[in-house]
Structure 1
Amino acid sequence: MIIKKLTVTNFRQFKGEQTINFSQNPDKNITLILGDNTSGKTTLLQAFLWAFYGVANFKSKDSLLNAEISQELSKSFESSKVSVAIELDHEGTYYHLIRQQKYYYKNGSVVSDTYSTPSLTTKENGQIKSFKQYQVENKLEEILPKDLSIYFLYDTERFGNITSRADVTKSVKAILGLTVLDNMIKHLGSTTRSGTVLNQFSSSVKDEGDKNRQNIFDKLKELETLHTHTENRKTEKKSELEYFNDIITKKRNILYELEKVSQLQKEKERKVVQIESGKKALQNSLRSYKDFFKSSPISFISYNLCKRAINELSTAKLDKKSIQGMNATAIRDIIERGSCVCGTAISKGDIHYEHLLEEIRYLPPQSIGTLMNNFKQQAETHLNFAESYFLSLETHYKQIIFHNMNIGELEDEIHSINEEISGEDNVSMHQADLLGAEQKAKSITEDIEQLNQTLGELKKTIKDEEEKYDQSIQSSAKNDEILLYLEYAKNILDWVVNRRDTKEHEIKSQLEKQVNYYFEKMYHGKRKVEIDDKFRVNLITTDLSNDIQTDESQGLETVKNFAFISGLVHLAKQKLADDYEKNAEAYPLILDAPFSNADEKHVKNISEVLPNVANQLILIVMAKDWNYAKDSLVDKVGTEYYLNKQSEIFTEIIGVDSNV
């Protein structure tokens, strides 16, 4: 998008009709607008917002109508209007936008119409075409979505940290073309979501007496509704968690600033980390204990029984002359055969015969002692294994006791630190707020984990029911064609979801790389940028042994914002050259007071980057701030204006012919 012209009429301090023609020269792509404080710099930026969206973000709630014109109306009893007109090119098409609001004298005061009225025209084949009133708002949202306006109509002094806004994910997706894929996923939908492609195909399947199919369909619909409700609850919980995490961050920052409690707070956080580590170790020990116990539970149960049996048998007089495994029947067989297994002849009355008879006395079933001796040997063998098992089980249990005691000691130490911190002047209130927010965040985190578990179960149940439904509708030959379309639609949905997820990951990596590239050019310290899954930007200090996230000053926040915007604009321009998802547009940057929070060195660094990133750069700045950037930007200025403040209620826009 390229902005050609802005015309304001009776808009705040800009009395009468006043016009700015913006530079369209790619080699001199800067339009410079200089002005002192209260001369109307911010008013110009708000004029763009009002023209596009009908809203203006002024600190005061005064009328948009110029005060002198308003005073004249109260005397003449006539009417007047406020208007803002913008001429621009978007995707190769010319547009002319005019928004106006009528003011008139009534019952002793000047009042306005309730709503401002926008009109939009374009040119097609040299012919002017007007959009119908109901089409205008949608077309303006298509040209410059309101969610994106903060990134391209940027007020440094008012908007703060744009990289942590709740809508940053939606905005980045829109700028870089991912919204197309999200919309495709919504359009394809599911078999039970009314109005979607899958639902329409599924509803077209002929039902020839299969009542079970309708029952499955109704159940699927209920499950989808419950799934959506659970997702919404999860989203609400995440928003709550972000809210309390913000409180935790703010309160921790406050406590860190208090010298008396700074070290205590850090010690507490270190112990919190140790507790989390200890809890993980405890879970591992519990799991190991259970697994080891399951390996031989009979050893645990029989340990004491074997011990008691052996103690009882140790006092009994047991024969130890028997041969293990031998019995009396075997001896009688040897006697009857007349020869031993070794070949020795056995005759009744000889010494060998007498020895065998003597041996029978010690063998079962005649000798209970032999049986008891055998049992004792088996019990001792089992007891040896059980003792080893018991010692190992005891070692696992001691680990559990150790981790529990360690966690308890750490929690007691944290409690002691909390009491010590709470006792300090000007600290107890912040500490109480912090503890409350931490407890709330912990509770919400547990709720989210439970919702995730519920969602997982619902997803499995829905998949099972979908399989049942698919089986039920495949029974009719008449539905073959629709089933084919349905299968195609499902495969397309799978492809689009995979495409969206892949592209989102790629773009996050590319954006982080590009923002870091511009941040290194703008910043003169040792920090880097990390972008999370929601496209929010965190600054990390890199001059320590471990990278840590740190607080940001206003100047550093400004540098980070510009690096983020530069990375977005760079990727949006690159997106236009790609052959996929054609929903990206290069936007101009309109910056109000861009250098007010940055020091001289950062101003120069930023100035060397911005003109090379944006196709069109409109700077609304104070002369003193321009002096820092002048050397870097002077050769890029194509058009210059000066806001000549003649009174508190009248500023004249004056074009400057010569270069700055």
Structure 2
Amino acid sequence: MFVRKITFENFRQFYGEQQIEFAQGVNDRIVTVILGENGRGKTGIYRGVLFGLYGDRALEQDSDGKEDIILTNIKKLEEDAKGARQGVTSSVTIELVHEGTVYTIKRTLLAYQEESGKIIEQIKEVSLTYKEQVITDKEQVQAMVNDMLDERVKNYFFFDGERIERLTRASDQQRKEIAVGIRNLLKIDELIKSESVLQQLNKKLLSDLEKTSTGDYKKKLKEQLVNDEQIEQLQYVMNEAKDKLVALETELKTIDAKLSTYKEDEQLLLLRKSKEEMVEQKRVEYMKVVEHLQQFNQVLSLIMAKDALYVVKSQLEHVMGTMSEKEEIDLALIQKLLHDLTCICGTSFNKGSKEYAQLQSLESRVENRVAKQEHYVLLTEINQLIGYLDGKEAELAHRLEHVQAKQQEVEGLEQELEQVNKRLVGSDSNEIAQLNQKRTFTYEEKVHLEHALTLHESDLDEHKQMKEQIELALRDLRVKSGVHEKLAKKQEAVQKSLTCMSHMIKEFERKVVAELEQACTENLAKLLDESGRMNIHSVQVKNDYSIEVLNSYGRSFLANISQGQRQVLSLSFITALAQVAGNSAKLDLPLFMDTPFGRLSSQHEENLLSFLPQVCSQWVLLVTDREFGERESELFLQNRCWGKFYMLESVEPGVTQIIQRPPGIVRSRVSRSGGVQ
């Protein structure tokens, strides 16, 4: 699928009727560059695409507490409010080609401004025209659009600088976005709903079984129901906490944006940001060494019992006396010699002789040894265990020292961070002081919430392990109990179905994650410079949905990469999402990107400009002249991929004119370093 043309009528900044024809891959020219300053309508163009295709009135990035988005042109609304007040019709018309067929989608809004100034908007109508047919049923139109570009993955074909930046920041916002992206790519909504229904049915059947059962089976069923309730409650609390963390991270970002306007505290703000990142990194390292220490849990009880082992060893040695474990003479042989009155060498002896008495003494010792054979086995095992624990004590001490050292590093950095916060709160400006105080409270709340979430995760793991143990116990008890056989078989069948379905979903998700990792790793190799390729080997999506990069030795390396490499990593992952969603290494869909060149080095930028035209069938680039200048335009011209060029020029406040220009050298007003060119 590719977009031929989009026409705006009184939509957002575009007063009257204006249109953009996109490059469609003729002679491999797939790139459309739309250049304009911030606020001129770059994002409004993509907003129009989503409104036209899906009727969306807001973008994903609008869900941060902003006021309702008005889609109708404000100037046109003001004119109508001062005139006849008949309302204003605005529309978006998209002409696209899918599998050789031309489709035209038109979606219309009706808006008017009340005397109070409040603006009311509502979607008036939608139509889809193709092969001389006109469809106006909203649901039918939407179904056909979804067949061309599934609504669940629509957000993975538009990426702005903010999303590119946050995707490689270890935060709950990042993890949530990646998790949602993967879930959207799975396209198994009905399967997930079925899993939820089975969970509820299983819960009801267990409750019915508990009511009709007796004895230990009833007790164990009650235990399972209580444990399942605790798991469900923990998952709810954790989801609430994660949503709260995302809100706190957004609030911190908003506060930081306000604080960045105060130049006099710029160095302190940068220092605080650096300290916070160091604290976060050290906390991650601390949790890793704590997990390493927790692996000792199964040995701790043995170490605590070491003194008792020495006592038992001493008692055994006392009971066994001076007997030597090495006496290997067979008791039956001695008894035969005594019976035959013949020495092993063939010499005869009599009862009561010295030889006879010596053999009797040996017989007694061997009988004693045989009687105490189990004592020898136990003593041997205790000696081996004591030797094993001697080494484990030293290892435990080393791990404890490591944990304490990491804890001291975290506490030291937290104290340094607190001092920086105090300096900022003590600023002369009341507004800066209030912002910093609010930021300190927000940051502390975030830290406390993260700690609580860690504890909840540990509790959840314990309850899940308990669930497995209870289910095993129930299987044994079910055979022994006189339970309602039909009901028990029904519950068992539902449990098996639920287990099977959960396994299928996890396996499917694992395969999608593996595809993402492979595609992202391949993309990253093409975008990195030589130095980056030497240090970064592969990309990993961890169990918590955070992104990690591994070096050549398979070790975590994300904390060591530069800002530019982070942006390249993010772009690689974004492109991989689009590739996996489109089920192809080459995207058969338009890819929109808003200001993607923020922190790229020259080599990374050159690699990106060469790479994306190879994997896209259509690339729409929304840029400012600060990031798309002579060098970038020259690269596009050299690659022969630049097909269309538009400039967004402000005519008056709130009104933008779309002006087409032939592809050519764009001269930037401001260089990357801030100097005039």
User: Normalising by the residue count of structure 2, what TM-score does the alignment of the two structures yield?
Assistant: 0.66
Q: After the TM superposition, which residues 188-587 of structure 1 pair with which residues of structure 2 at under 5 Å, given as runs?
A: 232-233=232-233, 235-236=235-236, 239=239, 257-258=274-275, 276-281=291-296, 283-284=298-299, 286=301, 302-305=316-319, 391-396=383-388, 398-399=390-391, 401-402=393-394, 405-406=397-398, 409=401, 413=405, 420-421=412-413, 423-424=415-416, 426-427=418-419, 436=448, 439-457=451-469, 460=472, 472=486, 504-524=509-529, 525-526=531-532, 527-532=536-541, 536=545, 538-540=547-549, 542=551, 547-550=556-559, 555-575=564-584, 586-587=588-589
Kindly tell me: are residues 496 and 3 of structure 1, through their superposed partners in 2, closer, same or farther at Cα, counting changes over 3 Å? farther
Match of 1:119 in 2: 126
2:432 corresponds to: none
Q: Tell me, what secondary structure is at the counterpart of 2:589?
A: coil
Q: Tell me the distance in 2 between the aligned counterparts of 1:104 and 1:640.
A: 34
> Are the structure 2 counterparts of residues 272 and 228 from structure 1 closer, same or farther at C-alpha, using a change threshold of 3 Å?
closer
Q: What secondary structure sits across from 1:38 in the alignment?
A: coil
For residues 532 and 563 of structure 1, the distance between their equivalents in structure 2, rounded to whole angstroms, comes to: 13
Other-structure match for 1:207:
none
Aligned pair partner of 1:72 in 79, 83, 86: 79
Structure 1 position 449, deviation (Å): 1.4
Distance 1:190 1:265 in 2: 39
Amino acid corresponding to residue 603 of structure 1 in structure 2: E
Return closer, same or farther for 1:438/1:76 CA change in 2, 3 Å cut-off.
Answer: closer
- Partner of 1:107: helix, strand, or coil? coil
Gapped runs of 5+ residues in structure 1? 203-210, 311-323, 335-340, 345-351, 476-482, 578-584
Tell me how far apart the structure 1 counterparts of residues 473 and 384 of structure 2 sit (CA, whole Å).
42
Return the letter of the residue paired with 2:16.
Answer: G
Q: What residue in structure 2 maps to residue 14 of structure 1?
A: 14
Tell me if 1:128 matches 2:123.
no
Q: Distance in 2 between matches of 1:405 and 1:658?
A: 68
- 1:81-92 aligned within 5 A: 81-90=89-98
Q: Distance in 2 between matches of 1:95 and 1:227?
A: 54
- How many Å apart are 1:614 and its aligned residue? 1.3
Q: Secondary structure of 2:520's partner?
A: helix
User: For residues 662 and 502 of structure 2, what CA distance do their matches in structure 1 show?
Assistant: 54
* 1:179-233 residue CA offsets vs partner (Å, 9 max, x unmatched): 25x6457559887867x9xx9xx9xxxxxxxx999969xx999999889766644
- Paired residue for 2:43? 42
1:454 alignment partner AA: M
Shift of 1:20: 1.3
Evaluate the alpha carbon distance shift between residue 40 and residue 222 of structure 1 in structure 2; reply closer, same or farther with a 3 A threshold: farther
Q: Is the 8 A contact 2:238 2:453 kept in 1?
A: no
- How big is each residue's C-alpha offset from its partner over 1:373-412, in whole Å with a ceiling of 9 and x where there is no partner? 9998889999888776665454455456545555555555
Structure 1 residue 15 displacement after superposition? 0.5
Q: Which whole-Å CA distance do the structure 2 matches of 1:144 and 1:498 have between them?
A: 28
Specify the code of the residue in structure 1 equivalent to 2:119. Answer: V
> What does the per-residue CA deviation read over 1:426-459, in whole Å, with 9 as the maximum and x for residues that have no partner?
3597897797567535422321211321342465
CA distance in 1, matches of 2:95, 2:89: 19
Distance 1:10-1:597 versus aligned 2 partners, 3 A rule: farther
- Specify the alignment match of 2:633 in structure 1: 630
Q: TM-score, normalised by structure 1?
A: 0.67
Indicate the RMSD between aligned Cα atoms, in angstroms: 5.8
Q: Write the letter of the residue equivalent to 2:156.
A: Y
Kindly state the Cα deviation for residue 609 of structure 1 after the two structures are TM-superposed: 1.0
Structure 2 Cα separation of the partners of residues 187 and 270 of structure 1: 39
Structure 1 residues 191, 279: closer, same or farther in 2, change over 3 A? closer
Identity percentage of aligned residues: 18
Quick check: 1:24–1:616 contact (8 Å CA) kept in 2?
yes
Q: Where does residue 640 of structure 1 map in the other structure? A: 645
Q: How many residues align?
A: 581
Q: Is the 8 A contact 1:285 1:399 kept in 2?
A: no
Residues 628 and 49 of structure 1, relative CA distance in 2, 3 Å threshold: farther
Q: 1:6 to 1:225 in 2, by over 3 A?
A: farther
| Structure 1 CA distance for aligned equivalents of residues 454 and 175 of structure 2 | 23
Find the counterpart in structure 1 of residue 178 from structure 2. 168
Q: Which amino acid aligns with 1:602?
A: H
Note the alpha carbon deviations across 1:565-615, whole angstroms, 9 max, x for none: 3333444555599xxxxxxx8321012223234233322211111111111
* Contact 2:7–2:93 (8 Å) recurs in 1: yes
- Give the counterpart letter for 2:132 in structure 1: G
Conservation of the 8 A alpha-carbon contact between 1:12 and 1:64: yes
The alignment partner of 1:615 has SS state of strand
One of 100, 107, 112 as aligned partner of 2:108: 100
CA deviation map 1:534-587 (0-9, x unaligned) = 69463536388955221666543432232123333444555599xxxxxxx832
1:595 pairs with 2:612 = no
How far apart, CA to CA, are the structure 2 residues paired with 1:129 and 1:98?
Answer: 11
Aligned to 2:24, the other structure's residue is in SS state coil
Residue 155 of structure 2 is matched in structure 1 by 150
> How many angstroms does 1:14 deviate by?
0.9
Cα pair distance change 1:104/1:419, threshold 3 Å? closer
Distance 2:475 2:402 in 1: 45
Q: Match of 1:36, as an amino acid?
A: E
Residues 222-265 of structure 1, C-alpha deviations (whole Å, 9 max, x = no match): 999889766644644665786899999x99x9889349x97x99
Seen in structure 2, the aligned counterparts of structure 1 residues 469 and 513 have a Cα distance that, compared at 3 Å, is farther
Q: For residue 612 of structure 2, what is the aligned residue in structure 1?
A: 610
Amino acid at match of 2:9: T
> Quick one: distance in 2 between partners of 1:224 and 1:88?
55
Q: How far, CA to CA, are the matches of 2:453 and 2:198 in structure 1?
A: 37
> Which AA in structure 2 matches 1:650?
V
Equivalent residue letter for 1:11:
F
| 1:7 Cα deviation from its structure 2 partner | 1.5
One-letter amino acid matched to 1:448: L
